[in-house]
Amino acid sequence: MVLYNETTPRRRIGRAASTIEKEMTRLALCIGVLACLAGCGQDDVARVRHGEALDAAETAAGTALDAEIVLCRRVGSKTGKRIAEGDDFAASPEKKNRYIHGFVDVSGASEGVHQVHLVWIRPDGKELFRKFAEVAVAAAPEGFSTEITWLQAEDLHYAQVDDPVVAEAADFSLYTKLNVAPEKEREPGEYALRVYWNRELLVEKTFLFHRQDG
């Protein structure tokens, strides 16, 4: 025989309500976490690509910060000299002309750790690919020490650290390259190299690319 009294349904209802409440709370937490990992992250990426600051407090660049982009067709293997600088390039079957090299000469960086994105833009305005680095600037007896660490969003364990640059001022160069070999079949038109410093568009340089000489 099952004993029954008027409090039994209430207890069952109470337990059910408590279980539902816990599950709803857990679901809300999951949604919140996913929103931060997915939605917020996508918003950040979109804003970075459009050169918008996420937060003014995150921008450590001072008024003295400056940068210049230099594009060239070749780089001296022994001297590092930039050869055939310009803003108009063409595809070439020669191995030495497989790339368009991009140098970003930065000066006047402030102390701290800064995020840098070097982004190549296609003629249709869409991103082709990017390089990402953290630039750590610290005071040194000689002036400043700058250490550049290249990272990859797809590989959290990847880190390529350049030799520190020690100088009187926090001046240094960043490097990236675009493969324009004929087999890549790059679309002709106006490309661009953009530099984002702490999620703000710092400098941009456009250039023309042709499929063949002439």
Report pLDDT digits (tens) over 99-158: 999 999 999 999 999 999 999 999 999 999 999 999 999 999 989 999 999 999 888 889
> Tell me, what's the pLDDT at 7?
47
> Tell me, what's the pLDDT at 39?
35
> Tell me, what's the pLDDT at 43?
40
For 166-173, what is the mean pLDDT?
A: 93
In this structure, of 56-65, 80-89, 154-163, 197-206, the range with the lowest mean pLDDT score is: 56-65
Label residue 136 exposed, middle or buried (CB < 10 Å: 0-12, 13-18, 19+).
middle
> Tell me, what's the pLDDT at 84?
95
| 109 contacts 170 by C-beta, under 8 angstroms | yes
> Is pLDDT larger for residue 37 or for residue 98?
98
pLDDT band at 1 (very low <50, low <70, confident <90, very high): very low
Q: How far, in Å, CA of 169 to CA of 97, rounded?
A: 34
User: What residues contact residue 175 under an 8 Å CB cut-off, 6+ apart?
Assistant: 101, 102, 103, 104
Label residue 137 exposed, middle or buried (CB < 10 Å: 0-12, 13-18, 19+).
buried
Task: Give the pair of three-digit tokens for residue 105.
Answer: 């000469």
> Tell me, what's the pLDDT at 34?
35
Question: If residue 31 lies in a helix (H) or strand (E), which one and from where to where?
Answer: helix 7-34
- DSSP 8-class letter at 18: H
> Tell me, what's the pLDDT at 193?
98
Residue closest to 65 by CA, chosen among 114, 103, 102: 114
* pLDDT tens for each residue of 20-76: 454 444 444 333 333 333 333 334 334 433 444 434 434 443 447 999 999 999 999
Task: Give the pair of three-digit tokens for residue 197.
Answer: 């410093």
What is the rounded (10 degree) CA torsion for 139, 144, 149, 153? Answer: 70
> Tell me, what's the pLDDT at 30?
37
- DSSP 8-class letter at 110: P
Q: How far, in Å, CA of 41 to CA of 19, rounded?
A: 32
Give the three-class secondary structure for 77. Answer: coil
User: What residues contact residue 68 under an 8 Å CB cut-off, 6+ apart?
Assistant: 104, 105, 203
160 pLDDT higher than 60: yes
What value, to the nearest 5°, has the Cα angle with vertex 102 and ends 179 and 144?
140
Give the global pTM: 0.69
> Tell me, what's the pLDDT at 213?
54
Q: How far, in Å, CA of 176 to CA of 105, rounded?
A: 12
179 pLDDT higher than 90: yes
Residue closest to 180 by CA, chosen among 123, 95, 76, 119: 95
Residue 163: CB atoms within 10 Å: 7
